Structure formats: C-alpha cells, structure tokens
C-alpha cells in the first residue's frame, strides 16, 4: 500500500477510535442511587442550634435521611428503600437520577423499609389520601413490621383504603420486588420498640450491595458483620457516630450504634484491599466527618468512603 494511503488509513482509524471513545456509555439496565446519607433528622437537624446546623441553615446545605433508590430501565420500574420524612424530595431526586418521570400518583413501583423508627418509615404517610393517594403500592417488610402497619393507626388506614399493600417476606430468604432484582433481609440487633430491624442485600444482574443503616453493635451478635459482608461488592454501613465524643450530653447507651472508628478497625484489611467497598451513611448531624474535610480525607486515604447524596452504583 502506498505510503500516502497508509497514512490516510491510519488517520481514519485514529479518528474513528476517538469518536468511539467520545460516545456516551450506555446506562446500566439496573442502577442503585443514594438518596440520603444523614441520620433520621437530616441536616440541618430540628432542634439543633450548634454550629453544624446553624451553618447549614445559613448556607442552605441540606442532607436527607439515609435512603436508597433503584431503577430497572428495562421496564422503567422504581424501588425506594426507606420512606423517610423527606420522601417528596428524595423521590423527586430518584426520578431525576433515573430519568423516569410522569409517574403521577404512583411515583414508585415498590418500597422496602428496614424498621419502625421515624427516619425510616414516616414517609409512608405521604401515600395516604391526604397526599399521593396511591393504589396498592407494594410495601415489603418483615412480618412483625407488617402487623404493626395493619394494626396501628394511622398506618392501618393506608392498608384499609388499599393505598399500600403490605407484602411480608421471610427473614433470611430472598424475595423479588420484580423479576431480575433480588433482595434478602437479614435481622440485626437494634432498638425494636415497634418492629424488628433489617439489613438488606440488594442484588441486580451484575452486583450485590449491602444496606445496614441501623444496628446497635456488631459485638451483640458474633460473626454478624462478616455474614452481612459475605458476597457483597459494596457495603453501606451504619456510621451514625464517629467516636462517640460528638454528643457529650447524650447517653449513647440509650441510642446505641457502632462507632465508625471501631468499624474501621475491624474492616481495615477489606478497605485496604478493596478501596471504596465500605461506605458509611446514616451520619448524625454532629458527626465530624460531615464537617471536617481533613478528617474525611484521612478516612478515605485508608480506603473507606463517606457515601454521597446522589452517588450511583450499577447493579
């Protein structure tokens, strides 16, 4: 081949490769989004006048309570994990991230809840006739949580009016909100005044993700943390308190959570081998990792991550 033709062919190949590299990557068929990273009250926190919340109010910084969303683009299905008091903003965020709009009074296809503390289930009220007035929206929960919803006001009205449909799973056994998405509930120790508390392993076609926003202490059930992490690629773990010093006026024995510093000690080897696999959320408004950039950078240098509102994971 003459030199000029070889050069022309080479230039064409380089141009073609550049064009292919510039093409947008197709969005995954199934994707998970982080819709909130804060503890139940979010940031700014109601009733808090500390600098952390005063500054957030002054600057407009808002962090929603811990929640996840999942989209299946093959059928435009949406799952919400946790119905928090900021459900309107979080479902709107899910619609934007998933590029699924026009849902009207059926904004979701299913909901999964972990337990009956206000930051995790209070948003179910928004499905009632005073607001969205949904029709038979599936709410997946444990049998004890299901009994709570059917028996206690105001939740029993949602059931009676068929605005939600309680779907109880068998704890420890997988269930599918829809074909191709598998969820497994694992009971974890927590303050279970009205229901038991679940962690969830969420599995799509490509990846498994663990969600544990609330647990009292890993030590309360030997081997629990290791069982939860088995086979998952990314784990979102309870990071409510950093080292326990951020709330000196509160008795943390009454609001038990595993301290981040101790969880990081236990999982140091995993974080070093798989940076970014361990991510913390359900962060209390006083947690210094939300306000101290140097501390956050040091944590990330060890291979851990602080979850970010709006981040996405291909499932």
Question: Residues in the chain with pLDDT < 50?
Answer: 1-6, 8-10, 12-22
C-alpha–C-alpha distance, residues 64 and 41, integer Å: 8
Residue pLDDT, tens place only, 229-286: 999 999 999 999 999 887 766 655 556 789 999 999 999 999 999 999 999 999 999 9
Give pLDDT tens digits for 53-65.
999 999 999 999 9
Whole-number Å distance between alpha carbons of 302 and 38: 22
Q: How far apart are CA 97 and CA 310, in angstroms?
A: 8
Say if 127 falls within a structural domain: yes
CB atoms within 10 A of CB 211: 28
Q: What is the pLDDT of residue 65?
A: 98
pLDDT reported for residue 257? 86
- pLDDT at position 5: 43
Residue 21 lies in a domain: no
* Enclosing domain of residue 71: 27-314
Count up the domains in the chain and report the number. Answer: 1
Residue with tokens 């501390």: 295
Output the pLDDT for position 266.
96
According to the model, what pLDDT value does residue 35 have? Answer: 98
Residue 149's domain is classified under what CATH number? 3.60.15.10
Residue 122 lies in a domain: yes
The answer to whether residue 11 sits within a structural domain is no
Query: Is residue 275 situated within a structural domain?
Result: yes
Structure tokens belonging to residue 274: 């798989």
């Amino acid at each position: 081949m003459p030199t000029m033709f070889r050069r022309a062919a080479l230039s064409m190949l380089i141009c073609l490769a550049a064009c292919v590299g510039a093409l947008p990557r197709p969005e995954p068929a199934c994707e998970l989004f982080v819709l909130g990273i804060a503890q139940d009250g979010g940031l700014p926190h109601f009733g808090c006048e500390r600098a952390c919340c005063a500054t957030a109010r002054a600057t407009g910084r808002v962090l929603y309570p811990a929640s996840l969303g999942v989209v299946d683009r093959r059928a435009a299905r949406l799952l919400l994990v946790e119905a928090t008091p900021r459900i309107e903003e979080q479902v709107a965020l899910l619609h934007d991230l998933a590029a699924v709009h026009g849902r009207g009074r059926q904004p979701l296809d299913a909901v999964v809840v972990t337990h009956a503390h206000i930051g995790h289930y209070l948003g179910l009220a928004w499905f009632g006739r005073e607001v969205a007035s949904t029709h038979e929206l599936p709410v997946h929960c444990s049998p004890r949580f299901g009994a709570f919803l059917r028996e206690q006001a105001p939740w029993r009205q949602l059931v009676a009016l068929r605005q939600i449909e309680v779907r109880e799973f068998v704890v420890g056994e997988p269930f599918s909100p829809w074909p191709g998405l598998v969820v497994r509930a694992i009971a974890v120790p927590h303050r279970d005044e009205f229901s038991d508390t679940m962690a969830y392993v969420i599995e799509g076609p490509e990846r498994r993700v663990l969600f544990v926003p609330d647990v009292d202490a890993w030590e309360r059930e030997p081997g629990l943390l290791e069982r939860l992490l088995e086979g998952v690629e990314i784990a979102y773990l309870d990071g409510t308190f950093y080292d326990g010093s951020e709330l000196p006026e509160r008795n943390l024995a009454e609001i038990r959570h595993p301290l981040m510093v101790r969880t990081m000690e236990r999982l140091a080897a995993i974080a070093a081998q798989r940076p970014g696999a361990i991510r913390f959320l359900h962060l209390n408004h006083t947690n210094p990792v939300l306000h101290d950039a140097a501390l956050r950078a040091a944590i990330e240098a060890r291979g851990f991550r602080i979850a970010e509102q709006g981040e996405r994971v291909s499932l």
